[in-house]
Copies of this chain bind each other. A is one copy, B any other.
Amino acid sequence: MIIVLKPEATQEQIDHILNDIKRLELKPHVSVGAARTIIGVIGPEDVIRTVPVEAYPGVENVLPILKPFKLVGREFKPDDSIVDVRGVRIGGGTFTIVAGPCSVESRELTLRIAESVHSLGAKILRGGAFKPRTSPYSFQGLGEEGLKYLAEAGERTGMPVVTELMDPRHAALFDKYADMIQIGARNMSNFTLLKEAGRMQKPVLLKRGMMSTIKEFLLSAEYICSEGNMNVVLCERGIRTFETETRNTLDISAVPVIKQLSHLPVFVDPSHAAGRDDIIESLALAAVAAGADGIMVEVHPEPEHAKSDGEQALLPEQFAEMVRKVRAVAKAVGRTV
């Protein structure tokens, strides 16, 4: 950590800082320049971080040197992690397609979509039983009944299922029905929920908050890992910007950036990034090309009658066409679907 002092910082202020640093058994190193005095602090950055150095009188700026996360970092584990979701291995050179409806709407429809996407190449089934909706007057999901239908559809097609956990009090329920726990974008900084997910014995699909930096995203994954659950898949799903042509702006750079910082697998959700069905295929292909380990997409046979997010659902035939092209690009970059 580098502490930059104000030009007018007094010796007394400097000594106050140095004393407190030494009390923490850290080593300060002072450099006096023409315009500024700076203090370098050597030692474990996690100890240093407990001190609000910006708050000391005389301090102008504080520059961290080390990364704020550990367990999820490449320095902790240099090799790519592979996450096993009831037999489906995510990461390590394969490209995995997760597909299904936005919401579980009925038993029949869920089975029908599951069979369709499975036959077309999906390896994991998605579907929401508890839905985070911006308005309290929108469809909120079927609840436990929805979990049952999803689990049944997964069993019938042989696909593991992933579904979103919104309430820490539902942990036991999800343990029973889900193979993978999804933490949604709106809950990426719901630390209560992250800790609960960390204590469950299931792999977690963590979506990036639309307002979150990559560093914060990795720190949220660190919350899960620090509870003992290292089976985390990160999912980029678009960030919020000023552009309104798309619901969010897919941050495709996040894929290679996270790959450098972390050993965890990285997915892309082109459906939520786009918020419209007509550019999902392009974004899915970009995800494969940029190095993602998989995608998650929404499929519905009648989008105009979907109870949520119909405008971004692919028809089964659009999904089929997308998978065909995804395979071609995956092959071109040396990966298997």
Chain A: residues with CB nearer than 8 A to chain B? Answer: 2, 4, 7, 16, 20, 29, 31, 33-36, 38, 40, 42, 45-46, 49-57, 63, 65-66, 68-69, 75, 132-139, 166-169, 186-187, 189-193, 195, 209-216, 219, 222-223, 226, 239-246, 249-257, 260, 273-274, 276-279, 282-283, 285-291, 303-311, 313, 325, 328-329, 331-333
Contact = CB atoms under 8 A, between A and B. Distances in A.
Contact of A239 (B66, B243, B278, B282): B243
Nearest to A247: B253
Given A166-B191, A332-B331, A282 B290 contact: yes
Given A31-B29, A40-B31, A285-B289, A132 B276 contact: no
Contacts of A274: 253
Contacts of A211: 209-212, 240, 242
A256 B282 contact: yes
B186 A166 contact: no
A246 B260 CA distance: 13
B245 A242 contact: no
Name the residue among A36, A191, A209 with the largest chain B CB count within 10 angstroms. A191
B253 A75 contact: no
Nearest to A7: B75
A320 to B, nearest CB: 17
A215 B135 CA distance: 10
